[in-house]
Structure 1
């Protein structure tokens, strides 16, 4: 695809608080590795204007596909807790091989937080 893909990355700060911010990236090469894309996103959000500081400085380390174009959306408010083995992106894969396509939506979060939330999926209000 000429010009690269449009990928939305949902920065998940807290699963319990449902605290997240979507950030849209244009011109994403789907041939780059997941590891390179994670590095790129971290560098971008660290300097992105308009993003609150807690989102900029958070120790995100894992990406998971939330939604693919023309697919069914999850009814989980932050992201689905299902199919981690298929939907969590592996560092050494290309985005394309991991299942990322144009207009895919990804969650970017800290794996430790996700593990805790998944063990006890309660939301705090």
Structure 2
């Protein structure tokens, strides 16, 4: 019998996880910047707390200065660890009902991130909800 190594996404506990935040400035121009949040407690952190943490990081980090002119009011899961990714490189158009955590500054469902399906190594997009709806109606990319 062979001892299989556990997946790296399952090694860390939910109280000490790592997630990737995809900050989307512009959908048509594909302006996206990733930040890593380490040591996050998914069981006690709510989606609104995560959104506030990301906004604080955007407003204090010099590397994110170009991303400060957007009103970020939405969080949506882009992909789960070891799951399939969307064909769209900017945002996942599928699963709006299940994977949207915050819409227009309000939580879509109650609970911590863990209760809403966020696990270790999940990628979450932060963006402006109105810009997302406009891009979803006409997903034309510009260069």
Asked whether the two chains share a fold, i.e. TM above 0.5, the reply is yes
Residue 98 of structure 2 is matched in structure 1 by 86
Partner Cα separation in structure 2 for residue 2 and residue 79 of structure 1: 25
Per the TM alignment, residue 80 of structure 1 is displaced from its structure 2 partner at its CA by 1.6
Kept in 2: contact 1:47–1:56 (CA 8 A): no
**Superposed counterparts of 1:1-125, under 5 Å:** 1=13, 4-31=16-43, 32-51=45-64, 53-90=65-102, 91=107, 92-125=110-143
Q: What TM-score results when the alignment is normalised by the length of structure 1?
A: 0.92
Unaligned runs of 5+ in 1: none
* Partner Cα distance (2:42, 2:49) in 1: 11
Instruction: Structure 2: state its 5+ residue gaps.
Output: 1-12
Number of residue-to-residue matches in the alignment: 124
Task: Quote how far apart the aligned CAs of 1:93 are.
Answer: 2.7
- Hey, what's the Cα distance between the residues in 1 that align with 2:62 and 2:49? 22
In 1, the alpha carbon distance for the partners of 2:116 and 2:14 equals 20
1:88 to partner: Cα distance: 0.5
Instruction: Answer yes or no: is the 8 Å Cα contact 1:46–1:57 preserved in 2.
Output: no
8 Å Cα contact 2:20/2:124 also seen in 1: yes
Give the Cα–Cα distance (whole angstroms) in 2 for the partners of residues 57 and 101 of structure 1: 30
